[in-house]
Structure 1
Amino acid sequence: MFKNINWIAVIIAVVLLEVLGFLWYGPVLGEAWSVAYRDSIGRDPDMSNLVVTQSLGVVNTLILVFGLAWVFARLGVNSLAGIGTAVAAWFFFNFTTMAIEYIYMGLAPNLVIINMGYQLLAYLVAGAVLGLMPGSARDS
């Protein structure tokens, strides 16, 4: 079931997404995200246990990338088709799930847009890595 997954591509994608997340929620949009979070939740983000939070984030990213790699292997996705497939997966599953946060939970639109933007970029990067790395998507 998992024999056609390029594990090197999975690890590379996870590392790239962690770097992207650091940049996105740090120097690029960190302040805007903190303000939007505070406006939505009514308090500052909890930074008291970053080791646990970051570790869980890495596990979550690994599950996401592994899931995409599994879908790519099952569908025989390779080359730049990986980007399109990843965007479709983002739209059908991630975008719609995150939209619920705005629709029903009343989160600030800026917070949702910042989070959705990161997720879209993450899917694009993972899709490119998984689709373009040799052996990442063979027929199963």
Structure 2
Amino acid sequence: MFKNINWIAVIIAVVLLEVLGFLWYGPVLGEAWSVAYRDSIGRDPDMSNLVVTQSLGVVNTLILVFGLAWVFARLGVNSLAGIGTAVAAWFFFNFTTMAIEYIYMGLAPNLVIINMGYQLLAYLVAGAVLGLMPWRARDS
């Protein structure tokens, strides 16, 4: 199950997604996200334990990227086809799941859009890295 996964590509993708998340929720859209969060939840985001929050975020990102790598390995996805496959995975699974936050939980549309935008970019980046760095069997 794990032998066909390029772990170097997984680690590179995880690092890139963490940097992307820092930029997306920091200098790029951090203020807009905080306002949308406050409008939806009724309080400011809890930043009291960033070490735990960030650690859980990294684990979550690792699971996401590993899952994509596993799917890519099972389907034989490589090259830029990884981007299309990742976008399909985002749309069919992530987009629909996150849409529930808007449909049933009453979160502000701009909060959901900011979060969905990050997730789409994350899937695009991970799909590109994993697709361009597929696992290759070594000749014996």
With structure 2 as the length reference, what TM-score do the two structures score? 0.96
> What is the CA distance between 1:137 and its match in structure 2?
9.9
> What is the CA distance between 1:139 and its match in structure 2?
15
Residue equivalent to 1:126: 126
- Verify the 8 A CA contact 2:98 2:116 in the aligned structure 1: yes
1:138, 1:2 → 2: CA distance? 15
> What is the CA distance between 1:35 and its match in structure 2?
0.1
- Verify the 8 A CA contact 2:68 2:127 in the aligned structure 1: yes
- 1:47-88: CA deviations, max 9, x gaps? 000000000000000000000000000000000000000000
Query: Aligned pair in 2 of structure 1 residues 73, 137: CA closer, same or farther (>3 Å)?
Result: farther
1:114, 1:108 → 2: CA distance? 10
Query: Aligned pair in 2 of structure 1 residues 134, 76: CA closer, same or farther (>3 Å)?
Result: closer
Query: Aligned pair in 2 of structure 1 residues 39, 87: CA closer, same or farther (>3 Å)?
Result: same
- Verify the 8 A CA contact 1:77 1:138 in the aligned structure 2: no
- 1:17-65: CA deviations, max 9, x gaps? 0000000000000000000000000000000000000000000000000
Query: Aligned pair in 2 of structure 1 residues 50, 138: CA closer, same or farther (>3 Å)?
Result: farther
Identity of aligned residues (%): 99
2:123, 2:139 → 1: CA distance? 22
Instruction: Tell me the number of residue pairs that the alignment of Structure 1 and Structure 2 aligns.
Output: 140
- Verify the 8 A CA contact 2:5 2:134 in the aligned structure 1: no
Query: Aligned pair in 2 of structure 1 residues 139, 106: CA closer, same or farther (>3 Å)?
Result: farther
Alignment root-mean-square deviation, CA: 2.3
1:101, 1:45 → 2: CA distance? 17
- Verify the 8 A CA contact 1:40 1:106 in the aligned structure 2: yes
Unaligned stretches of 5+ in structure 1? Answer: none
Query: Aligned pair in 2 of structure 1 residues 31, 6: CA closer, same or farther (>3 Å)?
Result: same
> What is the CA distance between 1:2 and its match in structure 2?
1.0
2:48, 2:67 → 1: CA distance? 30
Query: Aligned pair in 2 of structure 1 residues 108, 79: CA closer, same or farther (>3 Å)?
Result: same
1:121, 1:132 → 2: CA distance? 16
Runs of 4+ more than 6 Å apart: 136-140
